[in-house]
Amino acid sequence: MKGDEGMRSNHTLYVVIPCYKEEEVLPETARRMREKMRALMDAGRISPASRVMFVNDGSKDRTWEIIAELHRQAPDLFSGVNLSRNRGHQNALLAGLMTAVNDADMIISMDADLQDDINAMDGMIDAYHNGYDVVYGVRSSRTTDTFFKRFTAEGFYKLMKALGVDIVFNHADYRLMSKRAVEGLAEFREVNLFLRGIVPQIGYRWTTVEYARAERFAGESKYPLKKMLAFAFDGITSFSVKPMRLILNVGAVVFIVSLFMLLYAFISKLTGHANAGWTSLMGSIWLIGGIQLLALGVVGEYIGKIYAETKQRPRFIIEEVLNKPGEKDAGNP
């Protein structure tokens, strides 16, 4: 819920940007971020100790080389975190947040593709100084999306709401979090990460800032349809047991229908009309078989998540950190 205004004195900002095969867009991203951060510093809105932290998510191209070069050229502005292997966007973002929280008062997370409007940072910083711990970047429209993507994206948010998941409509991972909000996020230890669902559970005061999402500057999207569907399903099964309850309801309906069919078969036998129809028989077999396989798949997804959680494997392992001049570090969560 939203809260009262109250000025804060601490204003060291870290901008965490996960990167996976972003060699084409990184130079332009760094240029725009340099201009934006310098402007905010000159205006006294953020501390000169503020930085942009790029997180390399096991890229096989020149992404880490570019990040290291940016840090070498401007160690007072650009920092970097190199993961030991590819762990996915959510884990890479978490690695950056957990690294930046040691030095930052507020952290903004955004993607490297320049689709998020960096000028929306101004409104986020204003909201932070007015006492908000979480500021969500919310898309004002989806005019740049295809009809299919717009329809499926909006359907996803509505479905998540219907399943009881607390999620901000039209919000991805462009957000500002205060230091204490990120420290609260660290208390959530699940391996299956869906930060859009986890962050609202932290609580604290929050608000939103609207922005227009642009086209990708360069390179290819790292979320094709298959990956988007997997991400959506992961979010649903991570925060709601309603799919399992739906299976129970479907099973109950099928059971009731089967009782009527049994009664129908019995009456047909008594009246001498017991010629079994091949079409109805095969249709029933395929229908029930499909429902069973679907039910097993959903239950298996939940069991798989329990299996992964019980192993308690690290969500990420950091190979190298480039932060302050002359400073290198390594470690895991």
pLDDT in tens, 8-35: 656 999 999 999 999 999 999 999 999 9
284: containing domain:
242-311
Whether residues 161 and 184 share a domain: the answer is: yes
Q: Report the 10 Å Cβ neighbour count for 219.
A: 16
Is residue 2 situated within a structural domain?
no
Q: How many distinct structural domains can be found in the chain? A: 2
Is residue 191 situated within a structural domain?
yes
Q: CATH number of the domain that 213 lies in?
A: 3.90.550.10
Is residue 39 situated within a structural domain?
yes
Instruction: Report the SS3 class of residue 198.
Output: helix
Whether residues 140 and 257 share a domain: the answer is: no
Q: Characterize the bridge pairing of strands 13-19 and 106-109.
A: parallel
Is residue 233 situated within a structural domain?
no
- Give this prediction's pTM: 0.70
pLDDT in tens, 154-191: 677 777 777 667 778 778 889 999 999 999 999 988 87
Whether residues 248 and 160 share a domain: the answer is: no
Structural Rg of the chain based on CA atoms: 25
pLDDT-derived band at 303, boundaries 50, 70, 90: confident
Whether residues 99 and 218 share a domain: the answer is: yes
Is residue 70 situated within a structural domain?
yes
Is residue 186 situated within a structural domain?
yes
Tokens of 166: 């607390």
Tokens of 177: 């979090």
Pair 291, 309: CB distance under 8 Å: no
Laid out side by side, the sheet with 171-178 consists of 206-211, 134-139, 171-178, 106-109, 13-19, 51-56, 78-83, 318-322, 328-331
Is residue 236 situated within a structural domain?
no
Whether residues 200 and 278 share a domain: the answer is: no
